[in-house]
Amino acid sequence: MVSINKSFFYGIIVASITWLVSVFFYLHLVRNQNVNTNPSTTKLEYIDKLQDSTDDLENVGLIRSPNDQKIKEEGYKIHAYNTLVSDRLSLNRIIPDTRNALCKNKTYSDNLPKTSVIICFYNEHYHTLLRTIHSIINRTPSKLLEEIILIDDESDIEYLHSNISDYILKEKLNQVKLYKTERREGLIRARIFGARKASGQVLLFLDSHIEVNNGWIEPLLERIKEKQSNVVMPIIDIINPDTFKYSSSPLVRGGFNWGLHFKWDNLPTGTLNTREDFVKPIKSPTMAGGLFAIDKKYFIDIGEYDAGMNIWGGENIEISFRIWMCGGSLELIPCSRVGHIFRHRRPYGSPDGKDTMLFNSLRVAHVWMDSYKDFFLRQRSDAQNVDYGDISSRLQLRKELKCHDFDWYLKNVYPELPFPSEDKERLKKKWSAVEKDKYQPWHLRKRNYVDQFAIRLTNSDLCVTSQKDIRTKGSGLLLKKCTSSKNQVWYETDKNELVLSQLLCLQSGKTKPILYKCHEMGGDQEWKHKGGSGTAIYNLAAGTCLAAENKLVNASVTMKICSNPELATWDLVG
């Protein structure tokens, strides 16, 4: 799914798929930063139903019946995240305030511009979309919020549109305006459609499965007020797709590779020297695409989006190049935080099954990249003879805006980007321009072990054992006579992982638990138990417990509803 190449060790991060689909891309990043992750204690007065304590969040995914299991499986199929949890969580839940402490002391102008928030969706999960809306209403001062524009891009989930429209009426959410496109337009044209309906001075594009954090909007608007051509983005925090746990993201910036895939990069060396640097705007060569704010007039002046692009993909790179090359700037604002559900996969394709990412990327290359487009074309041999439509109006736009050329962009905005044509020496130099030492890559970080034990089925002498070699990723688990051999010794970490012989993590898996590379993202590798004898071993993402098929040698180990203790009760023996 993701490729890790040698450059990784120089602190450059290569994620070969775009951010919307990649749940675990932050694994490729260094973390360890000075952000405050303590849960907020400021309660919002109008919140009636709270389900934000850690305890609740741990139990909220619990499967209590076969029906729960069904809802959950259906949800994963359609949405690629845990809708059972989303349905159970309050629409007004409190999330941890992940801002740096310095952000809370900042003050902003009284006359910030009013904003139209624009959210396009296609088959979004009903409750998750409502939570997105509630988080915006709850955490945005009303004088800054002109409206929330929802664009339903021809969703075909039954009743979704009417359910949302009924809800808006019932709850009197007067600031929320729901529209529907006349046919499936895709994200790009749906956004143009939404932007043209907007009456706020600033357009703020958001995804439909997010939750905005405290004080998210002021620092974005302040920066646009300072300069109309500043296009700004929040830091995208992580909402775990299995558990909905909200966690802070590291400060990284947007880049791309020569396949024209978006990727996250570490910051250039020296970006974060002082405490203040952690809250200052950070220039970013590209945007991830889902979340950003832009002055409405400026958006129109620089040519909105390329309406010739289809459904999804590449539009974020296109608008990033255009902003930089045509006189604007693109920045991340560390004091603005928005949580995003990183789904396991993109749950839909284009209606005709075409690769819209390639089509759109070809348009980007031919309009903006001058001779550097050859690097892209060489990497994408499948791009030969692929039609990319008519680009003449975009070339005309580029001329009218008197934009810099792509060489200027590379030299001035993204000098750290390695070229395929460069030799080792030059590459090393470029790599050294990016932060690496300050933060430890995740896979080099030391795990904190807090306990060590065998997992024995209660009232037996059978222990959970790896089916294959302890180094084999994907190995299932079996019961074997307890022998204290390496393939039975589990090390527990301070993140509630169970690591067999300090190598691979126990992961709840789709149907059966397996051994897998530790990803440090919790969820399917996060296990809770009360310790000692006669304990259940509960997985947070699965909502079910570790169980044996029967009490025999070679019986396979599986996951079962926790309320059935038979064959799911264990002794942890040191």
Ligand X SMILES: *[C@@H]1O[C@H](CO)[C@@H](O)[C@H](O)[C@H]1NC(C)=O
> Whole-number minimum distance, CB 99 to ligand X, in Å?
11
- For residue 453, the SS3 value is strand
> Whole-number minimum distance, CB 509 to ligand X, in Å?
21
Q: Is 8 left (phi over 0), alpha (psi -120 to 50) or beta?
A: alpha
Question: Is the Cβ of residue 108 or residue 126 nearer to ligand X in the bound state?
Answer: 126
Q: What's the CA gap between 154 and 491, in Å, rounded?
A: 49
> Whole-number minimum distance, CB 530 to ligand X, in Å?
31
Query: Two tokens at 224?
Result: 């646009």
Residues 528, 522: contact at Cβ < 8 Å?
no
Alpha carbon 261 to its chain centroid, in Å, reads: 15
Q: What's the CA gap between 362 and 380, in Å, rounded?
A: 10
Question: Is the Cβ of residue 140 or residue 214 nearer to ligand X in the bound state?
Answer: 214
Question: Is the Cβ of residue 22 or residue 208 nearer to ligand X in the bound state?
Answer: 208
Report the DSSP beta bridge partners of residue 246.
239
> Whole-number minimum distance, CB 102 to ligand X, in Å?
5
Helix (H) or strand (E) holding 135: helix 126-139
Question: Is the Cβ of residue 395 or residue 553 nearer to ligand X in the bound state?
Answer: 553
Q: What's the CA gap between 475 and 517, in Å, rounded?
A: 11
> Whole-number minimum distance, CB 66 to ligand X, in Å?
21
Residues 44, 28: contact at Cβ < 8 Å?
no
- For residue 262, the SS3 value is strand
> Whole-number minimum distance, CB 100 to ligand X, in Å?
8
Helices assigned H by DSSP within 308-423: 315-325, 356-368, 373-379, 392-400, 406-412
Question: Is the Cβ of residue 166 or residue 407 nearer to ligand X in the bound state?
Answer: 166
Footprint of ligand X (CB under 6 A): 101-102, 105, 126, 159, 162-163, 553-554
Nearest CA to 118 out of 155, 152, 148, 153 is that of: 148
> Whole-number minimum distance, CB 332 to ligand X, in Å?
20
Q: What's the CA gap between 274 and 543, in Å, rounded?
A: 43
Question: Is the Cβ of residue 42 or residue 162 nearer to ligand X in the bound state?
Answer: 162
Query: Two tokens at 38?
Result: 């303590």
Q: For the packed helices 356-368 and 315-325, what is the interaxial angle rounded to 10 degrees?
A: 20
Q: How many CA atoms lie within 13 A of 234 on its CB side?
A: 29
> Whole-number minimum distance, CB 209 to ligand X, in Å?
17
Query: Two tokens at 114?
Result: 């009013």
Question: Is the Cβ of residue 101 or residue 358 nearer to ligand X in the bound state?
Answer: 101
Question: Is the Cβ of residue 35 or residue 540 nearer to ligand X in the bound state?
Answer: 35
Q: Which residue has the tokens 């558990």?
A: 243
> Whole-number minimum distance, CB 211 to ligand X, in Å?
19
Q: What's the CA gap between 470 and 468, in Å, rounded?
A: 6
Question: Is the Cβ of residue 550 or residue 564 nearer to ligand X in the bound state?
Answer: 550
